[in-house]
Structure 1
Amino acid sequence: MLSFSLEDLTVKQQKKLLIGSVIPRPTALVSTQNKDGVVNLAPFSYFNIVTYQPPVLGVAVQRVNGSMKDTAINIVNGQEAVVHIVDRENVELANQAAVNYPPERSELDLAKFELVNSSQINVPGLLPSKMRFETSLFKHVIIQDEEEITADLLLLKVVYFHVAEEIYQETYIDPKKLDPVARLAGSDYSYIGEVFALERPEFKGEMK
């Protein structure tokens, strides 16, 4: 086995080891809105559940030369976002939303999603989407590498759930019908492959 200290690797090499091994990563498409009402879209794979009570999602937004990206700015300022699960049906549109537009221009100009009003927040959701979460900002965590601020971790509390009927089965989500897209490294993505179950072991002894 090869072993490396941080000092052995450049930042780029560290990134490659992380994104090439922490896979597959769930992908989210996040819609936000700036102070002028412009809707911003951006896909993220540094995304996951943080806790279910309260229901909190985490999205990490990398900074560019120390500057916050539009998604982070809009969430910190507006306190709201809609998080969509990227699936086979909308992955091509989600990829279009990765275009590097200035704040005054919406990615909707290229990624032709249909806007849909949210139920409890001002930021609109997107169609097509089989699963989306209306969220409010729970906590903003600034990530630093020594003195340099490198990322914004946004903890988002879910305030409303939207689920397509075809994927919903008595409070459970059918993963094959959701058909989510997972992020690998580089330009690579994947779909769900083989699904198997493992029962959690139980301790049969006496607690001391």
Structure 2
Amino acid sequence: MLSFDPARLSERDNYKFLIGSIIPRPIAFVTTRSKDGVLNGAPFSYFNIVSSNPPMISLSIQRSGGNQKDTARNILESREFVVHIVDEHNVDKINQTAASLAPDESEVQLANLTPADSVKVAVPGVKEAKVRMECVLEHTLELGGEETPGCDFIIGKVVQYHIEKGIYENGRIDAEGLAAVSRLAGNHYAKIGEVFEIQRPK
């Protein structure tokens, strides 16, 4: 077995090791609104559940050259955002939103996604997602380098769920109906694939 000291690896090599090992990763499509009213949208695969009581999720938004991305800056300014689950039917449009645009340009508009009014936050979601969660900022941390942070770690509290009626029954979400996709490494993604069951020990 090979063994590496991450302190001796470049940032790029650490990145490749992590994204190639920690798979599959769920993908959040996040909408935010700038202080100038531009509806921003971007996908993030450093995303997961933090807590169910209260319901909270996390996003780790990597900086570029020490500069915050539009999503992180908008969340810190407005303290609101909407998280969507990326699925087989919307992944092509969501992929378009990964393009680097100026802060005054809308990725939602670029990808021809349809804004959907939220109930408890001012930021719209998009109709193309089967599941979306309205969130308010709970905590934020600057992580990384001592002088220049490498990422903004954001914890949001979910204040409203939206889910397509056909995939929700008796409090459960139909995984096949949701058809979520996950991130691997490079340009590779994965579908749900074979599902198996293992009983947890008592």
Displacement of 1:7 in angstroms is 3.5
Residue of structure 2 equivalent to 1:206: none
Which residue type is aligned with residue 79 of structure 2?
Q
Give 1:151-170 correspondences, 5 Å limit. Answer: 151-170=151-170
Higher gyration radius (CA)? 1
Query: CA separation in 1, counterparts of 2:82 and 2:108?
Result: 15
3-state SS of the aligned residue for 1:155?
strand
Q: Distance in 1 between matches of 2:87 and 2:142?
A: 29
Aligned partners of 1:5, 1:108: CA distance in 2, in Å?
40
1:36-185 correspondence runs (5 A): 36-185=36-185
- Give the distance between the partners of 1:68 and 1:9, measured in 2 at CA: 24
Unpaired stretches in structure 2, ≥5 consecutive residues: none
Query: 2:187 and 2:177 mapped to 1: Cα distance?
Result: 24
Q: What RMSD over aligned residues (CA atoms) do the two structures have, in Å?
A: 0.9
Q: Tell me by how many angstroms 1:17 deviates.
A: 0.8
Q: Distance in 1 between matches of 2:94 and 2:15?
A: 23
Output the TM-score relative to the length of structure 2: 0.98
Deviation at 1:144, TM superposition (A): 1.9
What is the identity percentage for the equivalent residue pairs of Structure 1 and Structure 2?
A: 46
C-alpha separation between the residues in 2 aligned to 1:55 and 1:23? 23
How far is the alpha carbon of 1:45 from its aligned partner?
Answer: 0.3
Deviates more, 1:8-17 or 1:54-63: 8-17
CA distance in 2, matches of 1:145, 1:108: 32
For structure 1, which segment, 107-116 or 186-195, has the greater mean C-alpha deviation from structure 2 after superposition? 107-116
Offset, 1:81: 0.3
**Deviation at 1:201?**
0.8
Deviations 1:101-143 (Å, cap 9, x if unpaired)?
1111111232111111000110001011100000000001111
The number of residues matched between the two structures is 202
